[in-house]
Amino acid sequence: MNIQRATLRLIQRNLKGAQLCKDVLVVLPTEHILRGFLFERTLMKEMYYLWRVIMPLYRPANTIILNYSTRISDGEPFRLTRSRLSETAERIAASMSPGHLSYLRKVKGPKEFLKHVNWMARNTMVNFRMDLALTHYMAGNVAECIKILESIPLESLPPKLRAYVVPFAAELRTNPEDAASRVQSWERENIERLGLAEAVIGAVEVADTRSN
């Protein structure tokens, strides 16, 4: 077990309602939004950044996206060593709770995620606009989702992202059931890739209601 996982496993003992899933200490229960803590290696030996992770699971992704996450401890890295593992884990756990842990518990689903990213509302980056559209969709605001998607200039989209956006936008108008299935598929793939099966509740049911 690498030192990041070993540290998070020790921290898990001190944080109620958290579960280690691969390399993320996940705040439970997980419902459409990944919330937790993750170490990121720095260029310095034994030094790691600690992230408070928030990521929508209903967006297409190949890895954990940190666009909506925050580095803990003012962005300063932590030193992780085997010889002082218990002491360091205790200190890091204290930095997580109660503030960061309490905040993560509040971001329960798509509606809370919208509040989390409200300060970014005017951001025109295509990845953010896609995530914003999908979040409105999951929150039941299909009209707003379509409006945001229509505002994205397709010519500016990278080919891979265009392959996601264009079919989904078309299905919203012509076949809502296929649109719902597409989002469910993205979410299931993320859950499987990140090893979140035991942490997730209601992962697809809300998306199902979009087609009714």
Q: Is 51 helix (H, G, I), strand (E, B) or coil?
A: strand
The full set of domain ranges for the chain reads: 3-106, 110-209
Kindly provide the residue ranges of all beta strands, DSSP E only, lying in the chain, ordered along the sequence.
Answer: 18-21, 24-27, 33-41, 47-56, 70-71, 78-79
Q: How far is CA 125 from CA 103, 120, 130, 131, 172, in A?
A: 25, 10, 9, 10, 22
- pLDDT at site 202: 53
The pLDDT tens digits along the chain (212 residues) read: 899 999 999 999 888 899 999 999 999 999 999 999 999 999 999 999 999 999 999 999 989 999 999 999 888 999 999 999 999 999 999 889 889 999 999 999 999 999 999 999 889 999 999 999 999 999 999 999 999 999 988 777 888 888 998 999 999 999 999 999 999 999 999 999 999 998 986 544 444 445 44
